[in-house]
Structure formats: structure tokens, C-alpha cells
Amino acid sequence: MENIDMRIDVTNPSNEMLNGVNQISHIKGCNFTAPDLPNIPSFSIIGQDRQNYFISMKDIYDLHLPDGMPFGFYWKFYCPRLTKDTDLDIFMAIYPKDNTNPRSIRLSGSYEVVSEHGTRLVRLDKVVPIYH
């Protein structure tokens, strides 16, 4: 498989939030990224120099969370290549509001299968069970 471009979503967003996703396998080039920042309007403050300054939520996140927002309803995953003999072990931290164990996640996206007949794009949208 090549060019694996997936999104991992919680299946019950009213009760669950992904607090982090990463791999245990240490496969080079495979990256997990947190969701984009919410579009929250900026606000202004007056500094000690009596100047007006505009601060956005992105500014606040950049100051306190330099590696990106650590939570959200989904995370993105990209990997340039996985061979058929490679296991990709993923670790997810899911926070359920009601202290129940989440039972599934949704994987959606695409990957390419390369064979002697050429390259074929495969799309995926599947609910997958979580093993605790």
C-alpha cells in the first residue's frame, strides 16, 4: 500500500473526544496530525503601552501547545508506504464523557495498491471495532 491518507473519527462525538493518536510501530514517514484549530474570532486587548493588540485562538494555542492541538473529534494520518508484512500498531487516547469504553472508530480516506497491472486507488469508509 502506498500514499495512505486516512482520517480517524470517533463514532460518538456527543460523548467521545480523541485526545491523541500515534503509532507504537515507529514506521518512518508515517505521521498523525491533530485537527485544525476551530475558527474562533480573535479579540483585542490594550497593552501597557496603550496600543490595541489583536489575539487569535491560534496565537494562544501556538504559545501553549506548540505541537498542535492535542484533542478533537478526528485526527489525520498519512503514510507513504506499508509493505504487506508490516504491522502498523496505533495507540489512541479517547476520552468518553460518561466513563464508558468506546467500542469503535471510523476510518475514512484512501490508499493506493501497486501491482504488476499498475496502481489502483482504494477508498475506505469503515467503522472499526476497538480492542481494549
pLDDT above 70: residue 66: no
Domains and CATH numbers, the chain: 2-37+55-129 (2.60.40)
Question: What's the confidence (pLDDT) of residue 132?
Answer: 66
The per-residue pLDDT for range 14-42, each reduced to its tens digit, is 888 888 888 888 888 999 887 766 666 77
The per-residue pLDDT for range 74-112, each reduced to its tens digit, is 889 999 998 888 888 888 888 887 878 888 899 999 999
C-alpha cell at 110: 484512501
* Cα 91–Cα 8–Cα 26 angle in degrees, nearest 5: 35
